[in-house]
Structure formats: structure tokens, C-alpha cells
A and B are shown apart, each in its own frame.
Chain A
Amino acid sequence: MDAILFLAFAFVAVGCAVNLVLQKHPVSSALSLIGVMGSLAVLYLLLGAEFIAAVQLIVYAGAIMVLFLFVIMLLNAGAERKVKGRSLISKLIGIPAFLAFVGVVAWLIETRYVNAGALVHFGGFTGGGPLEVGRSLFTTYLLPFEVTSVLILIAILGAIVLARKEFD
């Protein structure tokens, strides 16, 4: 059952990701991205990380993608125009470079993680509840957590500065 669900949602995620690139219209691309986010949430849920799954839905699918969609609708962006005349270099080495990149990533995962005995099996992980996540955020990962909040504060300040420039 777990394997079936995993395969189904993994296919949905990859299919939506491919569709995201192929679609001509920005709104359809944004909808495909929501599909990716949603199926990722289900994958998290299957791995026992229910808190991350809920946060994935609330933050990414619920807040960020709504903003994306909002901006696309507000700017009334039309369908993408095909750019003619790609450079010879991109035509020649585009696909080989992509395959090489995938190969390197696969090799890294294979050597670093698969043989290290760190595989998570379905139902084998129970530390994904809000209690465990909160505890590790405020003990083990306290410094990265706080640094991230400073980073977000800087981003907010940057947004305010940019918005003020518009008004002046």
C-alpha cells in the first residue's frame, strides 16, 4: 500500500514538474507547481513526517503559490513567446550536460547515502510530529534556526526599501 501510494504520488510529482516546464501559459505552470507541492506533501506524510507535510501545504501550496498566482493574475501575463534562434552551444551540449548532471547527482546519492545504512523505510520513522520537530529546532538546530530568522528579517527590510523607492 505504501509503495503503491509512493509510486502514484512520485509519478504525479514528476509529471507535474515536467508539465510546469512544458506549459506555455504562466497560470498553467503555476498550477503544475501546486501539484508538485501537494504530491511532495503526500510523500512527506508517507515517510512519517506529518508536521512537515502540513507545513508544506500551508506555506508552499497555500501561501507562496497563492502569491505567485496572484502576481500572475495581477500582471495578466500572457502566453510565453517562443524565442527563435537558440545558440549553437546550447543546442549541442544542452542534453549531454543535463545527463551528466543527473549522473553525478545519482552517483553522489548512491555512494553517500544508499550504502551508509541511513535509508528510511515506510513507517520506520516516528520523529516527524510537531513535538519532535520543535524540540530539535530549539536544541540541535537552534543557531541555523535563529540565523534564518535574521535572513528573513533582512529580506523584509529589503522589500520595504524597494517598495518605498516606488512611492518617492
Chain B
Amino acid sequence: MNPYIVLTLVKAGLIAFVLVTVLAYLVWVERKVLAHIQLRVGPNRVGPHGLLQPLSDLIKLLFKEGVIPSHVNKPIYLAAPFLAVMLALSSIAVLPLGPQIEVFGIKTNMGLADINIGILFVLAIGSLGVYGVALAGWASNNKYALIGGLRSSAQMISYELPMAMALVAPLLLFNTLSLREIVEAQSGYYFGVIPRWAIFQMPLPQILSFILFLIASFAETNRIPFDLPEAENELVAGFHTEYSSMLFAAFFTAEYGHIVTACMVGSLVFLGGWQPLWPAEYGSIFFPTIVHWFFAGICFWHSMQPARWYDKYTMPVVGVILFLLGCVFLVPVLQPILVPLFWLLFKVGFLIFVFIWIRGTLPRFRYDQLMRFAWTFMFPVAVANLLITGLMVALTSK
């Protein structure tokens, strides 16, 4: 059998498995972070710190009766959640996860496909993402669901424009559409310390584009402050009002899939992907180890002064595990694979945290404010930013 096909299948299986697990645990992370923002404890009954909560949620949703209301348009009603999940997860196929590596003498890219229009593919799949929500709202034959679906399609069309414009501006600096080349164009440092990430890159640091991109991706993923499609106080639950059991879970998965994709694209295009914040000669390759050892140290410190009687026994175990994980990053064979991956996931994790943080902080927009904000503020600013960037690139290019 063709080794390329085998390798791709192995990678696809690995990435799909990790992605689905991460999506399930994002629910836990979100509930926990939100709880701490609001001075609550969050899920803490199932497993230590509620860590088994996603599993119990999954079991509950699997064994729930899937109620299909009698008045729905059945084929579209059933197809919509699958469409939503499929479109939310397929962008991951073109996102690179690290540089080219060599495993057992085989050179391969970290990530599935490396296509030369990677960013366009992500935008294309993202623009199709609205169908899941819109069709679900329409097929449910329920006025709340319909209004949710309509709101969502109008909102996603409106915010797609500033999002694409905000993404085009850094692309002018890099001169490529391939995500791998985009990340490689951000390697290196100014004065040996400031990374050449898009948000710092000369001739025009793309901080404004980054902020525009983040705001637009909140809207694209239907998150607070733009979660009008599922505004509970107006629309019950919006487009998924009529869905239950696994079909409902599918929409949940799709939402988190969109978040992961948006954060991945944001880190790859604006935050330098797997390029570390400071050069390797100042020890950026030891950063993952230091992070793990730091948390191991916290665990040991807590085991010295236990708040609960069993902390004396559990904390050192967690600490040792974290310490060993930190040591894994020091193994010379694994270093070129794991360290860039860690840097990328660190940035993605940070952006996901920002998503949750915003959710815990901001109230919801009104619908007319949302539309006016997109068309009279975001879009002109994005165009102006694009024009200025183009001008600067034209002036400084040789």
C-alpha cells in the first residue's frame, strides 16, 4: 500500500481523535473558567474537579430519547446538525500544526494537507458554516428557531466581510496564501528579540487587523457578545430549540469546532503559529518544560499545606506527572516535534481563554446595534486598514 496514504490515514485518525476529545473538554474548560470569573466553583461533582463531567454529559445525551417534533421538515431537520458538524470540523484538515519533521526516516508535515490556498479554503468552509444553523432554524418549523436561523445567516454574512478583509491585510505582508508559508514568513526577530509575528511585523504591525479578526470571529462563532441567534431571553434557545439528545450535541460540537478553528487561524496568521515568542538562544525551547515544572511546583507546594485531607496524597501524584511531562519536552528526539506544537497550542489555548473571558465579561448586543457595528464601523475600518497596509507594502517593497 502507498505509504503516503497510510501516513495520512494515521495522521487523520490521530488529529480527529484529539480534536473530538478537546472539543468535549472545552465545555468543561468553559464552564470552569466562567464559574471562576463569576466567583462560583463550577462543575466539581463528577470526578476530581469535575474532570469526568464531559463523559457523563456525553452518556446522558447518548441515552436521551431523540424527540423529532411532528411538524418539522424531516430530511432537512435531520441533515442540518450533521452539516453543521461536518463544516465545523473539516477546516482542521488544512491547518498546519508544526514545521516539517522527520519520523523514522520519513519526512512529513505536521498537519494533514498543505495546500497552496489554505487560508482561502478555511474562509470557504467558514462561509458555508451558516447553512447548518440557517437550515436547522428553518426546518424546525418554529418561529423562535426560524428567527434564530435568520439572525444567524444575516449576522454571519455581515461579519464575513470584515473578517476576510482583516485576514487579507497580513497576507499582503507575507505574499502567500499557504498557511505553512504564512507561518514561515513570520520567523525571525527584529533586533534579535522582537518576533516577526504579523502583529509586530514591519512595515505595518497588524494589531488592528488582529482585533478586527477577533471581533468578527466572535460573531462568526455566535458567541457572546454576538450570540443573538440563541439569545435565551428572546428566542428560548434560538435555532436549536427543537433539537434534543445527540442532534443537540452536534450543534454544541459544531460551535466549539468553530471556536477551535478560529483560534487556530488567528494564531497561525497573526501570532506566528509555532514561532516562539523569544529566540531559541534565549531558551524558548525550554519554555514548555518550565511551564510544566512551574505547575508541578505549585502542586508540591499545595501538598505541603493541604486544604483538604487527601491533598497530601493526590497533589504530589499530579505534581510528579507534570514534572515527567516537562521532562518529555527535554528529550532531543522529541524536541523538534513537541516544542513547536506546544507553542502553537499555547497560543490557541490563550485565544480560547480570551473567548471565554469575553463571554464572562460582556453583555449581549441588541440586534440593530450588531448590524450597525458590522457595516458602519468594522467594515470601513477593515478597508482603511487594508488600504494603508497595501500602501505601506508598496512603498517599502524593493
Contact = CB atoms under 8 A, between A and B. Distances in A.
Contacts of A70: 134, 150, 153-154, 157
**What DSSP secondary structure best describes chain B's contact surface?**
helix
B383 interface: no
Nearest to B123: A58
A62 B117 contact: no
A10 interface: no
A51 B150 CA distance: 30
Contact of A51 (B120, B127, B154): B120
Contact of A63 (B76, B149, B160): B160
Interface in B157-194: 157, 160, 177
Question: Max chain A CB contacts within 10 Å: which of B115, B121, B128, B138?
Answer: B128
Interface string B93-136: 00000000000000000000001110011011111101100110
Nearest to B164: A58
B116 A69 contact: no
Nearest to A54: B120
B378 interface: no
B146 interface: yes
A55 B127 CA distance: 11
B153 A50 contact: no
Given A27-B138, A70-B150, A70-B153, A63 B117 contact: no
Given A27-B138, A70-B150, A129-B116, A63 B124 contact: no
A51 B153 CA distance: 25
B259 to A, nearest CB: 19
A50 B134 contact: no
A57 B126 CA distance: 10
B157 A130 contact: no
Nearest to A34: B131
A67 B150 CA distance: 10
Interface in A103-122: none
Contact of A74 (B73, B76, B150): B150
A69 B73 CA distance: 15
A54 B130 CA distance: 17
B117 A73 contact: no
Nearest to B119: A54
B134 A69 contact: yes
B124 A54 contact: yes
B282 to A, nearest CB: 37
A12 interface: no
A67 B123 contact: no
Nearest to B171: A130
A61 interface: yes
Contact of B128 (A27, A28, A31, A61): A61
Contacts of B124: 54, 57-58, 61-62
Contact of A73 (B115, B127, B150, B157): B150
Given A54-B121, A54-B124, A66 B138 contact: no
Nearest to A51: B117
A61 B124 CA distance: 9
Contacts of A50: 115-117
B90 to A, nearest CB: 12
A73 B120 contact: no
Interface in A32-88: 34, 50-51, 54-55, 57-58, 61-63, 66-67, 69-70, 73-74
A32 B149 CA distance: 19
Interface of B: 73, 76, 115-117, 120-121, 123-128, 130-131, 134-135, 137-138, 146, 149-150, 153-154, 156-157, 160, 177
26 contacts: A27-B76, A27-B138, A28-B76, A31-B135, A34-B131, A51-B117, A54-B120, A54-B124, A57-B125, A58-B124, A61-B127, A62-B124, A62-B126, A62-B128, A66-B127, A66-B131, A69-B131, A69-B135, A69-B153, A70-B153, A70-B154, A73-B138, A73-B150, A74-B150, A129-B116, A130-B120
Q: What are the 5 tightest A-B residue pairs by CB atom distance, in nearest-first order?
A: A62-B127, A57-B124, A54-B120, A58-B124, A70-B153
Given A31-B76, A57-B125, A129-B117, 6 more contacts: A27-B73, A51-B117, A54-B123, A58-B124, A62-B124, A129-B116
